[in-house]
């Protein structure tokens, strides 16, 4: 028997965005958080480098500069009203976190410490600015812990290890969600006036990724199936420095602290691609540079990686060449101890997985699939916008990586996702509670959980001619090769064809685990279906966009084309068919210009 529950607000996801939404929604509305992982296992905990805000603790900075950098970083695809709102609110958000207890690293006079990060600049000089507020190299861990601690304090209601399978809409408005309790295999029906999706990203569709196993795009897939479009899915960020083969992220903070990228000839090649800020250019720029270096045979030993070098002698050598100084004007010089203190976790990863000590040896790195700029379309209050005309779906919200506000446009700047979670998680939580106070429950149909139940039964009793692991591996290889850092018409067409084929094969899967309790095989197969849907939408959106912008680099259309393509993609999925439409970008004060670093 399906168990029934009723809440004003349901938050799906217990990461940074979800917990923030819950903390604020629960102040006035009866709220519960459903999460497939225990909240402290969420991927927000993996964020390393920091959260950006123009506090100006170490040098002059202004939120307007942060906004301009974000617009430029987005390759002008970000909506500028939302970006301005976010960068203004970022300052308050960081202080809120500090007041919640977040143990930020500190300056000598006790204020929140800040460091340089890719694409963040002093707009007057064009030089890198210290804007990233950090807690060593585990900022995300501290955000996740701190928010969870506050939830414990306020006795927030959690349904841990509840997997949301479906969204219920009635009369065009939210009615609730259907979830699978992992411990028992039972279905639960949650009636709700408002539902906030905060389910994170979908980087698991690529072979090399920094993303958790859980990054399977569930929120976007669920809403797509219910007729909500997905926005700008062709824009997916490849981070330039993943550990070779493993994909584990080496934060940009390593370059912020003075690390440099080196090719097989021992050259600091970023000088050729971004003469001004070099290794701290935007991620799309650096990832393409790595790709081109490797294509030209300048990967280390001709292989598919380059070196990231943060040995003190290297850092000091290039810092001297760059004329880099400390805030007090003295020359920038570091010791091995200082590096160890600033990036302890990175050093630990390298020792554990590579047997390499980064203060003694350079690290082998390659681009790794990292961040979804695209997702569920929302406005700045987190309300889901269901079409190109801006029509809001009553009661439906999204925040965090699964949402597309859009503040990241075609390419996200480092530190801006954590800002996004905190600012828009809060906005969505507040707005959802306000909405719930004035709205009634939609009636639930008698067959509310039928769709989810049928799909699960299908997986349990399928023809059994296909194995999910095979399909997953093929999808991941295909996406990395054809829908990766560089794309072509031919490759994308091939990707679309093969993805259709993989989706057909996925319908022939039968899971071998016929049990109820903790049936991870069932859940993982369901997730594979979600990834395949999103992969198809990503490839189709990329195929249609005949230009290069931010993270979407077409070899056959190498230039940005503002005349035809300064617009957001909206993709809908009906059966096997993807249909695309477009909506304009909001521009307030920053007119599109050529983007160089």
Partner 1 sequence: MLTTLKIYRYDPENGGAPHYDTFTLEAQPTDRVLDLLERVRDDHDGTLAFRRSCAHGVCGSDAMRINGRNYLACKVLVKDLGTTEITIEPLLGLPVKKDLVVDMGPFFDHYREVMPYLVNDEEPPEGKERLQTPAERELFDDTTKCILCAACTTSCPVFWANGNYQGPAAIVNAHRFIFDSRDRAAEPRLAVLARQTGVWSCRTAFNCTEACPRDIKVTQAIAEVKRALVRRKPSARR
Ligand X SMILES: Cc1cc2nc3c(=O)[nH]c(=O)nc-3n(C[C@H](O)[C@H](O)[C@H](O)COP(=O)(O)OP(=O)(O)OC[C@H]3O[C@@H](n4cnc5c(N)ncnc54)[C@H](O)[C@@H]3O)c2cc1C
User: Which of 516-541 are b and which e, b meaning 16 or more Cβ less than 10 Å from the residue's Cβ?
Assistant: eeebebbbebbbbbbbbbbbbbbbbb
Which residue of 35, 121, 139, 150 would you call a contact of partner 1, by CB under 8 A? 150
Q: In the window 237-296, what residues touch ligand X (CB under 6 A)?
A: 249, 251
Which residue of 42, 70, 366, 482 would you call a contact of partner 1, by CB under 8 A? 42
Which residue of 5, 30, 111, 453 would you call a contact of partner 1, by CB under 8 A? 111
Which partner from the list ligand X, partner 1, none does 16 bind, CB cut-off 5 to 8 Å by kind?
ligand X
Residue 362 DSSP symbol: P
CA distance 78 to 593: 14
Phi and psi (nearest 5°) for 38? -55, 140
Which partner from the list ligand X, partner 1, none does 447 bind, CB cut-off 5 to 8 Å by kind?
none
The reply on whether position 511 binds partner 1 by CB under 8 A is: yes
The reply on whether position 25 binds ligand X by CB under 6 A is: no
DSSP states along 34-45: EESS-GGGSGGG
First-to-last alpha carbon distance for the chain, in angstroms, is: 59
Reported as type and span, the H/E element at residue 339 is: helix 336-342
Annotated active-site residue 595? The verdict is no
Which residue of 213, 313, 337, 555 would you call a contact of partner 1, by CB under 8 A? 213
Which partner from the list ligand X, partner 1, none does 515 bind, CB cut-off 5 to 8 Å by kind?
partner 1
Q: How many CA atoms lie within 13 A of 115 on its CB side?
A: 25
Which residue of 59, 101, 390, 589 would you call a contact of partner 1, by CB under 8 A? 101
Q: In the window 364-393, what residues touch ligand X (CB under 6 A)?
A: 371
The reply on whether position 362 binds ligand X by CB under 6 A is: no
Alpha-carbon torsion (314, 255, 239, 543), positive or negative: negative
In this complex, which beta carbon is closest to partner 1, that of residue 342 or of residue 545? 342
Out of 138, 283, 311, 503, the active site residue is: 283
CA angle, residues 296, 558, 260, in degrees to nearest 5: 45
Which residue of 59, 348, 481, 493 would you call a contact of partner 1, by CB under 8 A? 348
Are the beta carbons of 137 and 115 closer than 8 angstroms? Answer: no
Which residue has the closest beta carbon to ligand X? 15
Which residue of 12, 40, 54, 410 would you call a contact of partner 1, by CB under 8 A? 40
In this complex, which beta carbon is closest to partner 1, that of residue 213 or of residue 450? 213
Alpha-carbon torsion (224, 227, 232, 234), positive or negative: positive
Among the listed residues 200, 190, 151, 212, the one whose alpha carbon sits nearest the alpha carbon of residue 19: 151
Which partner from the list ligand X, partner 1, none does 40 bind, CB cut-off 5 to 8 Å by kind?
partner 1
Using DSSP bridges, classify how beta strands 31-35 and 3-12 pair: parallel, antiparallel or unpaired. parallel
Region from 263-271, 296-304, 409-417, 479-487 binding ligand X, contact rule CB under 6 A: 409-417
Which partner from the list partner 1, ligand X, none does 39 bind, CB cut-off 5 to 8 Å by kind?
ligand X
Q: Count of residues binding ligand X (CB under 6 A)? A: 45
The reply on whether position 349 binds partner 1 by CB under 8 A is: yes
CA angle, residues 549, 551, 554, in degrees to nearest 5: 60
The reply on whether position 99 binds partner 1 by CB under 8 A is: yes
Residue 554, strand partner residues: 487, 557
What x-and-dash track marks residues 410-429 binding ligand X by CB under 6 A? ----xxxxx--x--------
Q: Is 163 exposed, middle or buried, given 0-12, 13-18 or 19+ CB atoms closer than 10 A?
A: buried
Phi and psi (nearest 5°) for 266? 80, 15
Which partner from the list ligand X, partner 1, none does 13 bind, CB cut-off 5 to 8 Å by kind?
ligand X
CA distance 365 to 241: 5
Which residue of 2, 4, 59, 106 would you call a contact of partner 1, by CB under 8 A? 106
CA distance 381 to 439: 17
Residue 388 DSSP symbol: T
Q: In the window 143-182, what residues touch ligand X (CB under 6 A)?
A: 163-164
The reply on whether position 46 binds partner 1 by CB under 8 A is: yes
The reply on whether position 22 binds partner 1 by CB under 8 A is: no
CA distance 312 to 259: 9
Footprint on this chain of partner 1 (rule: CB under 8 A): 37-38, 40-43, 45-46, 91-92, 94-95, 98-101, 103-112, 135-136, 138, 141-142, 145-146, 149-150, 152-153, 183, 212-214, 246, 248, 345, 348-349, 352-353, 467-469, 511-513, 515-521
Catalytic residue numbers, as ranges:
283
Q: Give me the residues that bind ligand X (CB under 6 A), please.
A: 12-18, 34-37, 39, 42-44, 46-51, 139-140, 163-164, 198-201, 210-211, 214, 218, 249, 251, 371, 400-402, 414-418, 421
């Amino acid at each position: 028997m399906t168990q029934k529950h009723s809440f004003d607000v349901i938050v799906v996801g217990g990461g940074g965005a979800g917990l923030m939404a819950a903390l604020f929604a629960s102040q006035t509305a009866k709220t519960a958080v459903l999460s497939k992982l225990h909240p402290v296992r969420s991927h927000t905990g993996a964020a390393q480098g920091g959260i950006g805000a123009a506090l100006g603790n170490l040098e002059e900075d202004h939120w307007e500069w942060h906004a301009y950098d974000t617009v430029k970083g987005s390759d002008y695809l970000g909506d500028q009203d939302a970006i301005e709102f976010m960068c203004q609110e970022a300052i308050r958000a960081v202080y809120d976190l500090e007041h919640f207890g977040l143990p930020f690293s500190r300056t000598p006079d006790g204020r929140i410490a800040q460091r340089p990060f890719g694409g963040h600049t002093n707009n007057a000089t064009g030089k890198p600015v210290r804007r990233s507020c950090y807690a060593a190299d585990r900022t995300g861990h501290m955000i996740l812990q701190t928010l969870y601690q506050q939830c414990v304090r306020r006795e927030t209601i959690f349904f841990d290890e509840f997997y949301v399978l479906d969204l219920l809409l009635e009369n065009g408005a939210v009615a609730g969600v259907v979830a699978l309790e992992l411990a028992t295999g039972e279905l639960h029906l949650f009636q709700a006036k408002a539902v906030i999706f905060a389910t994170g990203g979908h980087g698991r569709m690529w072979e090399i990724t920094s993303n958790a196993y859980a990054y399977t795009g569930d929120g976007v897939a669920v809403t797509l199936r219910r007729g909500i479009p997905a926005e700008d899915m062709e824009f997916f960020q490849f981070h330039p420095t993943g550990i070779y083969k493993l994909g584990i992220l080496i934060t940009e903070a390593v370059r912020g602290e003075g690390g440099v990228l080196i090719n097989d000839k021992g050259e600091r090649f970023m000088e050729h691609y971004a003469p001004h800020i070099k290794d701290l250019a935007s991620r799309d720029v650096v990832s393409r540079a790595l790709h081109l270096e490797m294509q030209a045979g300048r990967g280390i030993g001709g292989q598919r990686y380059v070196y990231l070098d943060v040995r003190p002698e290297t850092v000091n050598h290039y810092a001297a060449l760059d004329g880099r100084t400390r805030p007090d004007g003295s020359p920038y010089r570091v010791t091995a101890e200082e590096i160890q203190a600033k990036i302890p976790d990175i050093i630990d990863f390298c020792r554990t997985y590579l047997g390499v000590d980064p203060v003694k040896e350079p690290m082998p790195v390659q681009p790794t699939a990292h961040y979804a700029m695209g997702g569920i379309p929302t406005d700045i209050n987190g309300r889901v916008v269901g079409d190109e005309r801006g029509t809001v779906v009553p009661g439906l919200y999204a925040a965090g990586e699964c949402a597309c506000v859009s503040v990241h446009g075609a390419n996200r700047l480092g530190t801006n996702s954590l800002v996004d979670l905190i600012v828009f998680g809060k906005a969505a939580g507040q707005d959802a509670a306000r909405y719930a106070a004035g709205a009634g429950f939609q009636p639930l149909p008698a067959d509310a959980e039928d769709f989810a139940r049928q799909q699960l039964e299908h997986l349990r009793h399928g023809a059994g001619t296909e194995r999910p692991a095979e399909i997953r591996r093929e999808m991941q290889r295909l996406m990395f090769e054809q829908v990766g850092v560089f794309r072509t018409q031919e490759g994308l067409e091939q990707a679309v064809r093969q993805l259709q084929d993989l989706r057909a094969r996925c319908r022939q899967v039968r899971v071998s685990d016929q049990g109820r309790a903790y049936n991870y095989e069932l859940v993982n197969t369901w997730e594979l279906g979600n990834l395949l849907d999103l992969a198809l939408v990503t490839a189709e959106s990329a195929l249609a966009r005949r230009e290069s912008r931010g993270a979407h680099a077409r070899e056959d259309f190498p230039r940005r084309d503002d005349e035809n393509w300064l617009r957001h993609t909206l993709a809908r999925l009906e059966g096997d068919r993807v249909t695309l439409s477009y909506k304009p970008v909001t521009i307030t004060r920053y007119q599109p210009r050529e983007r160089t670093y």
